[in-house]
Structure 1
């Protein structure tokens, strides 16, 4: 974690790991973090954060770090801090370890569809499976079954006492358009607000109109724009 200080007071930070994330960073802060990043080799596979910070960071490091695999400059950050606007699906529940046989392949499919590369690539299967199991163990994984078929899933990626961020929202392709995601997300919002955090957030690509429609129906509202650079 890097920090930028003004008169001894921390004014901005940058999380530096597989994900590089500027935190409360204005354009000057982001440029300063970028100069620090250029003193070492790139280890991040993703730069993600508020659009206003990711752009100036990338402007500085782009010529040295090389061509990105994908850039997503217009991602909507959404929040809901009240009850969902539609009826929650009563079949959505917290995942348990016994679900991993169907849940793990669904997580791989979602990640591959969203990111464009499998999380198992390069020998990452064990680490990714451990992460999925960790979220289940925390009670942060949500599933909906129709018989033996997993038809909806989502996870809490991270949470504080103030807010939780949702990731990995997925419905199998042949079950899309049936309302599973809308009522499923309503259930996730209801359950997360009841036992994890009062505000539920996520971010979605501008071009994903189907997902944006789901979140709008549930009651999410846009608060800012994110951007992501992937290597």
Structure 2
């Protein structure tokens, strides 16, 4: 049978999960999306879709498309296989952002991006299991509450400014505040409070039976070098790994400070990743 590309249907769920589970560390984000949202039926208009490359009927690569190109995430598969999917999607998809294994993201950008992206960052994917953790804890780290949102917004804003070089509260304050509130309501944001001030935050970006990926870890500049990030990363890692096999987090290759914190807590660097924002 020839190589084919098609939008995945709910009947492909087991095949997609099996493909992603071959490399769970580098596919945690997609495994979380699959567990949370499933696979949309192709005949129904949905806000997201999965597309797969089949070789003799066997699924060999997949790409998640959310928000009509607002977020495109490739599986940790051979980049040439990802490129085949991208070539098929190119006629009807406008890429706005993508993240994943560097080679696969580069293949997507070649096919789906016209001109130079607004931002392109190289990252390392760090991962950890319970056996790797060091003795770093802070039991006062807690789930954020709705009443924390006014104090939480500046931290969320600061993270986006540093990583994405944009100001979400200036661009679309109502939408961004609603997104921060939604994460709080979903019990995905943890904070550290000292003297009535929030001095640290971290989010659970995705979660599945295979593990979770942390994101949005941020300490205000005035409260850095006080050990908050090390102790809180250790705390949330120990908490989550009591019920999950592994955790991961992406760290900008220029951010040696966060990389040192991750290594100190027990995380190990994996393959190179790339984050691309087109507009």
- Answering whether residue 124 of structure 2 is matched by residue 76 of structure 1, we say yes
Alignment of 1:135-214 (within 5 A): 135-194=183-242, 197-214=244-261
Match of 2:182 among 127, 131, 134: 134
- Tell me how far apart the structure 2 counterparts of residues 10 and 92 of structure 1 sit (CA, whole Å): 42
Question: Secondary structure of 2:109's partner?
Answer: helix
Q: Is the 8 A contact 2:211 2:247 kept in 1?
A: yes
Bigger relative contact order (CA 8 A; separation at least 6) = 1
Question: What are structure 2's unaligned runs of at least 5 residues?
Answer: 1-49
Whole-Å Cα distance in 1 between the matches of residues 93 and 57 of structure 2? 28
For residue 108 of structure 2, the aligned residue among 54, 57, 81 is 57
Equivalent-residue separation in structure 1 for 2:135 and 2:177 (angstroms): 33
Q: Deviations over 1:83-140 (max 9, x none)?
A: 63132012111111121121122111211221101223543x3332222222212221
Structure 2 residue matching 1:58: 3-state secondary structure: helix
Superposition RMSD in Å:
1.6
Q: Is the 8 A contact 1:86 1:217 kept in 2?
A: no
1:103 aligns with 2:144: no
- Give the TM-score normalised by structure 2: 0.76
On the 8 A contact 1:48/1:229 being kept in 2, the answer is yes
2:79 maps to which of 12, 17, 27:
27
Structure 1 stretches of 4+ with a deviation exceeding 4 A read none
CA offsets 1:161-196 (integer angstroms, 9 cap, x no match): 11100010000101111111101111111122235x
Shift of 1:227: 0.9
TM-score between the two structures when normalised by the length of structure 1: 0.91
Q: Determine whether 1:38 maps to 2:90.
A: yes
